Chain A
């Protein structure tokens, strides 16, 4: 089955930029989506189709995908961005959703 690997944690100072990677074999050939999960809350979609944002998600959230790595970038990080972030792709061969291992973002 397809595996998505994320760093367990990323720390960033307020106002700086956080970059969260999602590694997978030739992930650039797939479409990647990202979810934010604040403590004690359900996940929320923050980026879909590699780089698009749902309505209500700030422009500070952006995505890219190429080669073996997809990246979620959070610009001008705020305290409210502290959360777990998960990447996700769809495995068309098995009709399964595949989630990354998750990254905890800490705002210093």
Chain B
């Protein structure tokens, strides 16, 4: 199964942009890149996903490298509420399950 690699932790200042990287060098052509986040004491929640092109939604933007071996989740203006563990996972036609790695713990400082 294709795996992802993320930094264990990152820090950001409130109202500044945050770029959360994810490496997935063994990604297959049919794998979608999904991002979830888990706020303290809550279940994970969907953030964004994409295949090849960059994607934007109300929560974040997803920038996907041209070779698709890496991607970056962009929070344009971090708020204290964005402090969470962010998970990058791959989902494809051959992946029935949805396995999470350790994720990146984002701390937002006021």
B is a partner of A: no
**Using a CB–CB distance below 8 Å, which chain A residues touch chain B?**
none
**Using a CB–CB distance below 8 Å, which chain B residues touch chain A?**
none
